Amino acid sequence: MAAMHGGSAASLAPATFSGAAAGGKTVGVETVRNVLLCGPQGSGKTTLLERMLLHSKVIAKMGSVQTGDTVCDFEQDEKHHGHSLASKVVYFSHEGRHINLIDSPGVPDLSGFPAAALAAVESVIVTIDASRAHAGGGIEPHTRRLFQMARNAGLPVLLLVTKIDHTEADLKGLLDRIHEVFGPECIPINLPIKGNTDVIDVFDHADEAGSGTSFMSVASAHEHIFEQVVEMDSELTGEYFEKGDKLDPVKLHRAMEAALTSGHLIPVAFCSAKTGAGIEDLDHVIAQQLPSPAEAHPMLPHHASTGDEFQPDVSSPSKPCVATVWRIINDPFLGKLSFVRVLQGTLWARTELYHGESKKPLRITHVLRVRGKETHEVEALGPGEIGVIPKLDELRVGSVLHAAPDLHLIPAHTPIPMPLSGLAVELRNHADEGKFTAAVHKMMEEDPGFVMERVAATGQTVLRGCGELHLRLILEKLKTRYHVDVGTNPMKVAYRETISGSATGHCRHKKQTGGAGQFGEVYLRVEPLPLDHATGFEFVNETVGGTIPKQFMPAIEKGIRQVLQHGAFAGYPLTGVKVSVQDGKYHDVDSKEIAFTTAGRKAFIDAIAKARPTLLEPYVKLRVQGPAARMGDLTAEVSGKRGRIEATDLEGDQCIITALAPLSELTTFASELKSLSGGAASYEMEFSHYDRTPPAVQASIIAAFKPKADED
């Protein structure tokens, strides 16, 4: 056994892998269960996994998030914050099944992690915290988003009510809210009994054994879930109404899988990680009711040529292997760990597989199973399994490994959120540049919602994430894990300069310093090009009679291009201009390229100043979603941002506002929307186009611009 960094074992961990004992063999595809555990922050996911591992005797003592000794929250920053900050995998056996569970962070800014894990699992458990279920509360906007994300991916969802031990938990009220929010397909598969200290499985039990439930009879819950399941098969429905629940188990199982996959049934289960209530039954439901990789599949890659989904064939472990990478960890001791999901065939250690379009195979030396920070070496991973390939630098999230050289698959379209929040950073110590770039590169590989950009238009290095908290966590990690300290600045908007009219400009550049002098004179004309012009710049020589010899034209163009890059009046790149050089003068001795570069630059700046200079700003397409009851407030908020509303639509109890808005107005939109709606509204945006900045805004930007002293 080797260990990833984070715990005390880390520094002792050898950078090799050993201990094939526990999981040396592959397991049959029908025994595999891959389940993503997601839900709002603090709803008890990590504690629940701890309890499940204890229950299956994988660990002898239960850790807690308070004491920072859980199997999943092993990183220092997770212990420090008391939250999971990335996804982790654990596995254990139950009723002969090999169960892989993925714990994911509930912090909304980190929803890239559960999104990326949709390429690894066949079903999703969404947690709902019973301790927050009083006075009509209990289901947060983030819970709805996660539920929707899983359903949009076509995956079966089980809703898991956690912390039922909580004394104020109003479970009946919560079940009503679940029906209201997620629909009547949400039906209990077990019910709390004995004062919420235990649960009874209502799929297996038709009558109340022992004490009754607090809010629903076992008999009616049993009837309810059976009726819902048999509806998937008309023959089975007939048999059920004739003979009752003694049905053919194979047919019943098939109907159950169909009901789960189509969303006709969303089972609701209850548990408490604190007391252990409902844990045995949850294991049983996962083992017996949730689908295997032979019955359902994760989000799949697509064929590059046709765009069709790749259809995995899990009928035999000897099919050509296809595996997809869904998570990367750069461990300081073990190196790069690529978490894979085997879609078909067997992934053997000491074998070669192709990667993407490359004709050169990659050598797979080791294959591992992972439980928290522990890695266990195995010979192979069978169809449907989740595991890790260490030390392959070429792999990224979304990489597809395959045994057939001509197969070209593109990654599954997992709903990774667009990183909308940006922060400009500056190294405090310039000697750290190499360290900074390497650290950011590693962090981008690990975190699906994080990117770094060097923005040429503003000269800034920008870190983009999915919210202010996300950016804070990124800066913290840079400092504590990679020892790189950066200062931060607000992100500048990438304005552009252009002109709205035509004008002429002139410069006679004459300089005598010591011996040889400099001489060049240029008359030119500028006119606007359309905003959608392909290159945004045209340069023509209209001089006649050799007033300026041809060989000086590139020098003049060079001077003009310097202005295009650095701007003429506000310090932003200039675009959308056609320049024609019309006349000028030269001197046999003193005319050198440098003289015409300077004359060209100054004549151009002179012309721009007279050609109604205009600032352009980036516009984005904005999509705001929130409660229909708040539509008026949300529309007003968008209009207040100079947004041009394009459409307002209603979808159930939600409203969707589509608008075009200038990016410069949206720097604090996320937090404003949050406080306006109590977290119930969210937004997405994508770049649309550049458009003119209103005169007042333009005036203040130009006023703030201090041009550098012009050195010739």
Residues that bind ligand GTP (CB under 6 A): 39, 41-47, 64-65, 83-84, 105-107, 131, 162-163, 165-166, 272-274
Closer Cβ to ligand GTP, 44 or 662, answer by number: 44
- Residue 575 interacts with Mg ion (CB under 5 A): yes or no: no
Q: Are 91 and 371 in contact (CB under 8 A)?
A: yes
- Residue 238 amino acid letter: G
Pick from ligand GTP, Mg ion, none: which does 162 bind, CB < 5 to 8 A by kind?
Answer: ligand GTP
CA dist 293 and 302 (Å) reads 18
Radius of gyration of the chain (CA): 31
Is residue 633 within 8 Å of 559, Cβ to Cβ? no
Counting every residue, how long is the chain?
712
536 touches, from ligand GTP, Mg ion, none (C-beta below 5 to 8 Å by class): none
Rounded CA separation 44/42 (Å): 5
d(C-alpha 623, C-alpha 643), whole Å: 11
Among ligand GTP, Mg ion, none, partner that 43 touches (CB below 5 to 8 angstroms by kind): ligand GTP
Q: Checking phi first, is residue 695 left (phi over 0); if not, alpha (psi -120 to 50) or beta?
A: alpha
What the block records as the tokens of 624 is 């705001």
Q: Let me know: does 608 contact 568? Beta carbons within 8 Å.
A: yes
Residue number, 58 or 65, with CB nearest to Mg ion? 65
Are the C-beta atoms of 128 and 39 separated by less than 8 Å? yes
Dig out the tokens for 221 from the structure: 């819950």
Tell me whether residue 273 or residue 412 sits nearer to ligand GTP (CB atom): 273
Q: Shortest gap between Cβ of 412 and Mg ion (angstroms)?
A: 24
Please say which residue, 37 or 579, places its beta carbon nearer to ligand GTP: 37
Note whether 218 and 191 are within 8 A (CB).
yes
* Minimum CB distance to Mg ion, residue 84 (Å): 3
Q: How far is the CB of 41 from ligand GTP (least distance, A)?
A: 3
What sections of 183-278 are H helices per DSSP? 218-230, 234-243, 249-262
Taking residue 22's Cβ as centre, other Cβ atoms within 10 Å add up to 15
The answer to whether residue 46 forms part of the interface with Mg ion (CB under 5 A) is yes
Tokens 């056609």 correspond to 578
- Distance, in Å, from the CA atom of 52 to the CA atom of 282, rounded to the nearest integer, reads 9
Of these partners, Mg ion, ligand GTP, none, which one is at the site of residue 94 (CB under 5 to 8 Å by kind)? none
Which of ligand GTP, Mg ion, none interacts with 605 (beta carbon under 5 to 8 A by kind)?
none
| Residue 42 or 387 having the CB closest to ligand GTP | 42
Residue closer to Mg ion by CB (options 84, 346) is 84
Q: For the chain, give the longest Cα–Cα distance.
A: 112
**Residue 248 in tokens:** 């053919």
Report in angstroms how near the CB of residue 153 gets to ligand GTP at its nearest. Answer: 20
CB of residue 679 to ligand GTP, shortest distance in Å:
15
Residue with smaller CB distance to ligand GTP, 39 or 600: 39
CB of 337 to Mg ion, least distance (A): 20
Which range, of 37-45, 131-139, 312-320, 551-559, touches Mg ion by CB under 5 A? 37-45
Distance CA 6, CA 564 (A): 50
Query: Using the rule CB under 5 A, is 34 a contact of Mg ion?
Result: no
Asked if 622 and 683 touch (Cβ cutoff 8 Å), the reply is: yes
- Which of ligand GTP, Mg ion, none does 345 bind, CB closer than 5 to 8 A by kind? none
The residue among 39 and 465 lying less far from ligand GTP, judged by its C-beta, is 39
Whether the Cβ atoms of residue 415 and residue 118 lie closer than 8 Å to each other: yes
Is 84 an interacting residue with respect to Mg ion (CB under 5 A)?
A: yes
163 contacts which partner out of Mg ion, ligand GTP, none, CB within 5 to 8 A by kind?
A: ligand GTP
Give the whole-angstrom CA distance, residue 150 versus residue 122.
Answer: 10
For 455, 457, 566, 567, the CA distances from 573, given in Å and listed in that order, are 12, 6, 5, 5
Contact indicator for 390, 334 with CB cutoff of 8 Å = yes
Cβ–Cβ < 8 Å for 287, 99: yes
The pair phi, psi for residue 476, each rounded to 5°, is -60, -45
Q: Which residue has the tokens 């629903």?
A: 216
Pick one of ligand GTP, Mg ion, none as the site partner of residue 190 (Cβ within 5 to 8 A by kind).
none
Please state at what angle helix 218-230 crosses helix 249-262, rounded to 10 degrees. 80
Among Mg ion, ligand GTP, none, the one that 278 touches (CB under a kind-dependent 5 to 8 A) is none
> For residues 85 and 470, is the Cβ–Cβ distance under 8 A?
no
> Minimum CB separation from ligand GTP for residue 267, in Å?
19
Number of alpha carbons in the 13 Å side-chain half-sphere of residue 111 = 22
Choose between 106 and 387: whose C-beta lies nearer to ligand GTP: 106
Q: Which partner, Mg ion, ligand GTP, none, binds residue 42 by CB below 5 to 8 Å per kind?
A: ligand GTP
Closest to ligand GTP by CB, 71 vs 581, is 71
**Cβ nearer to ligand GTP, comparing 146 with 631:** 146
Binding segment toward Mg ion, per CB under 5 A, in 79-87, 90-98, 183-191, 520-528: 79-87
How many angstroms separate the CA atoms of 108 and 412, rounded?
22
- Per partner kind, with CB cut-offs from 5 to 8 A, the member of ligand GTP, Mg ion, none near residue 274 is ligand GTP
* CB of 45 or CB of 601, closer to Mg ion: 45
- 44 interacts with, out of Mg ion, ligand GTP, none, CB within 5 to 8 A per kind: ligand GTP
Asked whether position 87 contacts Mg ion by CB under 5 A, the answer is no
Residue 162 or 575 with smaller CB distance to ligand GTP = 162
- Shortest spacing between CB 178 and ligand GTP, in angstroms: 18
Alpha-carbon torsion angle 490, 496, 501, 503, nearest 10: 100
Select the binding partner of residue 287 from Mg ion, ligand GTP, none (C-beta < 5 to 8 A, by kind): none
Q: Which stretch binds Mg ion (CB under 5 A): 42-50, 252-260, 384-392, 582-590?
A: 42-50
Tell me which residues in 430-459 interact with Mg ion (CB under 5 A). Answer: none
Nearest-approach distance from CB 78 to ligand GTP, in angstroms: 8
Between 45 and 98, CB nearer to ligand GTP = 45
Q: Which is nearer to Mg ion, 63 or 419 (CB)?
A: 63
The runs of H, that is alpha helices, within 17-104 are 45-55, 76-81
Residue 444 makes CB contacts below 8 A (sequence gap 6+) with 450, 451, 452
664 binds Mg ion (CB under 5 A): no
Task: Report the C-alpha gap between 303 and 311 in whole angstroms.
Answer: 10
Q: Residue 331 Cβ, how far from ligand GTP at the closest point, in Å?
A: 20
Residue 311: CB atoms within 10 A of its CB come to 10
Closest CB 121 distance from Mg ion, rounded Å: 17
# of chain residues touching Mg ion (CB under 5 A):
3
Which entry of ligand GTP, Mg ion, none binds 338, CB below 5 to 8 A by partner kind? none
* Residue 366 binding: pick among ligand GTP, Mg ion, none (C-beta 5-8 Å cut-off by kind): none
**Residue nearest ligand GTP by beta-carbon distance:** 106
Contacts with Mg ion by CB under 5 A lie at 45-46, 84
